[in-house]
Amino acid sequence: MLADGPETTGFADFRLIHNCLPNMAWEDIDLSTAVAGITLPHPLIINAITGGAPDVSGINARLAELACRTGAAMAVGSQFAALENPAVQDSYTIARQNNPNGTLWANLGAHTSPGDARRAVGMIGASAIQIHLNVAQELIMAEGDRDFRNYLANIAAIVAVSDVPVIVKEVGCGIAREQAAALMEAGVRAIDIGGAGGTNFMGIEAARSGVELAPELLEWGLPTAISAVEVASVLRPGVDFIVSGGIRTPMDAVISLALGGRAVAVAGPLVKLLLQQGVPAAESWIDNFLDGLKRFMMLVGARRTTDLTGVPLVITGASREWLTARSIDTSKYATR
């Protein structure tokens, strides 16, 4: 359960250039960032992964406690079940109870009505709402959706009535530049790329249903690092992107921020730690992750997370071949 792969994230093809004269001190490093106009103390987000049933209320409670202790923004899992059955609302509202002053994001699928989107936000006092896209996962679920018409128009309708920023998130298959451009045209404030290489939700659903999937299907999607460059290539002013999908190390994070991401999001590793070792272990993981991020920022001479977009970054291998074939210039990253 919660296994990564088999597709890789692509980060191995991305190398930052060392700066032997950083001309800064450790205390100069500032991890603060902002996504969709929401200021965050650091760029690590606890991403959506659970919700909707009493047996996960305990996990959500611990995730919210972790978010409170570390200052991390947190997205709850899909709230559709609670909109259908108020009896399970506690598995979401527990997040606000355990993190009364923190940054929480609501979460629903792209088929949801604008009115339900507003109700989901109100349910947890959210400062933004994630609209997730999980076509591949739905196709593997026996009870999953099979009709994906009008998603884009519906997202635009949600944006039109939402009092909080709308963030669109893929669930493990990545977002290409064409769809990123369409989502920005619909008015979303941020895109969470949710690339391939992290938790494989198709594999999880296949195991749950006892279905054997072809290797080509399990490997489907845009590797996370490639998806990040695709989205960055069409990004408009006023729209941010978040990198998720197999973010496992500070190096993954610093590359993501160097590509233009304003934050990175993690879910699977934190849930595993919470289940196996509890909140203190997960808190230590986040502290060490952020400390590692600061080390890499020192090594490239970046005082602020936004400074990373000016650091030289070399893209090689299959990732460069992919991006070149897509007419995306990779040399600009290496010579900036």
- Token digits for 41? 């103390």
Residue 226 in contact with residue 177, Cβ under 8 Å?
no
CA distance readout (Å), 195 to 14, 124, 233: 16, 27, 16
pLDDT digits (tens, 9 = 90+) for 150-182: 999 999 999 999 999 999 999 999 999 999 999
Amino acid of residue 50? T
Q: Is the pLDDT of residue 279 over 80?
A: yes
Q: Is the pLDDT of residue 50 over 80?
A: no
| Bond into 165 cis (ω within 30) | no
State the alpha helices, DSSP H only, in 162-278: 177-185, 201-209, 215-218, 224-232, 250-258, 268-276
- Of 23-27, 268-272, 327-331, minimum mean pLDDT range: 268-272
Q: Is the pLDDT of residue 64 over 70?
A: yes
CA distance 253 to 316: 18
Helix/strand/coil for 171: coil
Q: Is the pLDDT of residue 54 over 60?
A: no
In this prediction the pTM is: 0.96
Q: Which domains does the chain have, with CATH numbers?
A: 11-334 (3.20.20.70)
Q: Is the pLDDT of residue 24 over 80?
A: yes
Residue 228 in contact with residue 31, Cβ under 8 Å?
no
pLDDT of amino acid 51:
52
